[in-house]
Amino acid sequence: MFDGYDSCSEDTSSSSSSEESEEEVAPLPSNLPIIKNNGQVYTYPDGKSGMATCEMCGMVGVRDAFYSKTKRFCSVSCSRSYSSNSKKASILARLQVTGKPPTKKAKVLQKQPLVAKLAAYAQYQATLQNQAKTKAAAVSMEGFSWGNYINSNSFIAAPVTCFKHAPMGTCWGDISENVRIEVPNTDCSLPTKVFWIAGIVKLAGYNALLRYEGFENDSGLDFWCNICGSDIHPVGWCAASGKPLVPPRTIQHKYTNWKAFLVKRLTGAKTLPPDFSQKVSESMQYPFKTCMRVEVVDKRHLCRTRVAVVESVIGGRLRLVYEESEDRTDDFWCHMHSPLIHHIGWSRSIGHRFKRSDITKKQDGHFDTPPHLFAKVKEVDQSGEWFKEGMKLEAIDPLNLSTICVATIRKVLADGFLMIGIDGSEAADGSDWFCYHATSPSIFPVGFCEINMIELTPPRGYTKLPFKWFDYLRETGSIAAPVKLFNKDVPNHGFRVGMKLEAVDLMEPRLICVATVTRIIHRLLRIHFDGWEEEYDQWVDCESPDLYPVGWCQLTGYQLQPPASQSSRESQSGSSKQKKKAKSQQYKGHKKMTTLQLKEELLDGEDYNFLQGASDQESNGSANFYIKQEP
């Protein structure tokens, strides 16, 4: 039973955080039941609560929470700022507001110091207007609501536990439906913030559909909120913090003994762990800091890396500015666990191409990122049978992530890294080769697409269709990379077809969009961006740091791109997505040969049985890719 109301005294200033305990609570109406610390129902004497407007910044708030005896200012800083101004500033402010003609005294004040203040005031007004415009634009963009989107379409969202790199991804626990929490009571006319208990009706990522206790089966006041928000607390928090529990106005008449009602409802119920908010805060601490230097892929020449500097960190995502960018606009977005970033000196250590910076020495304040902060790759043994230059395989095209293409290993680097090129699309100088680790989930053995009924993109200009690997290997005098060298680990990731999530558009990595899982092949996910055509879909690994739970953008303050409407799709037809579309219009080949045909045409002399992927509707990533046939 979570009955914390008998454990505290009636004193409402009991131990809570210093910031919260200093809040002044306005007198509450005498006819409203209030459950205080000891669980008894109290009534408050009438008092002059009312509202007030700060004379310095114009903020409107509860009068009793304002400062000074006359309650003229919302904070100490506003009070001090106001009192430090001279009568000249006061007269100026009145002139700006009322528009009355200046008095003789005001004309005397309009000298150089006053002109400077006028300019400052005008700038201040312009700033306010710009902020208002920005806020209006944000409101327009934020017209999308995950709650409404999920409710109106009966969607389900991928659970937080699917995203180990996201906040609370590894410590979400058993938060589920029917868990009780204490939340602000919005069905209340009181001028101060009060709380009530609600139960989780439905979970969607970080977001939860809540229903106040006492509403039973009435969903009229159900509401969505982010479970990791600062106003969400475990049952008992109000008692420990001296906060009143006030039943919603709509149902306050239903019971005369609210304490007995709550005791009965909460007996045996689950709530959040007492250190939940602390865990949320800790999971949102990131080791990467601004001014750190890293090596990152050159977005214009994928075959090489460049030095970049961390400009900002949002939710573990890094905005990197290439070191030679003088105006700080040549940037690249990625997650701190992305395989595209490395410590300074990584390229030289493995033999990867690297663009040397024209900057001869580090700029002031910039420093190299400690190597231990980067994602670790699995150690491999290259001394035995290993990948060789010229071997064929299938790979996700990093310039068109909706396709898996015929590819060739062009160079074998140290520490298990490979340089790979897409057959038929390579530049003569190899500037479009790209680097994948041997354990990367983005490369596959010959025949993977055929076995799993994925459309394989043949080399550009290849005319012998339908494409057959056996014929192609014979024509090119090539061999397929041995199946046993590929990564066959498949975690129990928990994704299901149809689940909603927030996903990075890797063709425009600063954007995070509303997305859906449409296919699951072992650990490979097909991500569809809601509102866009399928040609913009992307193949992504189940452990990709570019996938996030529903509500991640709201939690971290990152802007979420809502589903595209028909008009927005047309208006963006000339944007960066057009480049992706142009590439995706390559001929992808006819229906491929059957699994039986493929198995009959042994690719490189090795006798393998391919374990075909489970049904898209049922796959949970619990199987391995391949099973070698025992002699």
Is residue 317 included in any domain, yes or no? Answer: yes
- Number of domains into which the chain is organized: 5
Instruction: Give the HSE-up count for residue 334: Cα atoms under 13 Å, Cβ half-sphere.
Output: 23
27-69 pLDDT, tens digit per residue, is 444 445 555 444 433 333 333 335 667 777 666 565 666 666 6
Lowest mean pLDDT among 10-14, 115-119, 215-219: 10-14
Q: Is the model's pLDDT at 234 over the cut of 60?
A: yes
Residue 54: which domain range?
Answer: 48-77
How many other CB atoms are found less than 10 A from the CB of residue 102?
A: 14
- Same domain? For 361 and 400 the reply is no
Is residue 517 included in any domain, yes or no? Answer: yes
What is the percent of the chain with per-residue pLDDT over 90, rounded to a whole number? 59
- Same domain? For 258 and 199 the reply is yes
- Same domain? For 464 and 510 the reply is no
Please indicate whether residue 558 or residue 108 has the higher confidence score (pLDDT).
558
Query: Hey, what amino acid is at 115?
Result: V
Length of the chain: 631
Instruction: Tell me the pLDDT band of 134, cut-offs 50, 70 and 90.
Output: very low
- Same domain? For 326 and 348 the reply is yes
Write down the pLDDT at residue 68.
63
Is residue 233 included in any domain, yes or no? Answer: yes
CB burial readout 142-160, b (16+ within 10 A) else e = eeeebbebbbeeebebbbb
Write down the pLDDT at residue 365.
86
- Same domain? For 395 and 465 the reply is yes
Write down the pLDDT at residue 601.
41
Average pLDDT on 400-418 reads 96
**Cβ 423 vs Cβ 372: under 8 Å:** no
Instruction: Tell me the pLDDT band of 565, cut-offs 50, 70 and 90.
Output: confident
Is residue 569 included in any domain, yes or no? Answer: no
Q: What is the H or E stretch that residue 524 is in? A: strand 524-529
CB-based contacts of 560, cutoff 8 Å, min separation 6: 144, 502, 512, 513, 514, 553, 554
Please indicate whether residue 365 or residue 604 has the higher confidence score (pLDDT).
365
Q: Which residue in the block uniquely carries the two structure tokens 């056996």? A: 470
Write down the pLDDT at residue 94.
45
Runs of H (alpha helix) within 519-558: 552-556
pTM of the model: 0.73
Q: How far apart are the C-alpha atoms of 237 and 181, rounded to whole Å?
A: 9
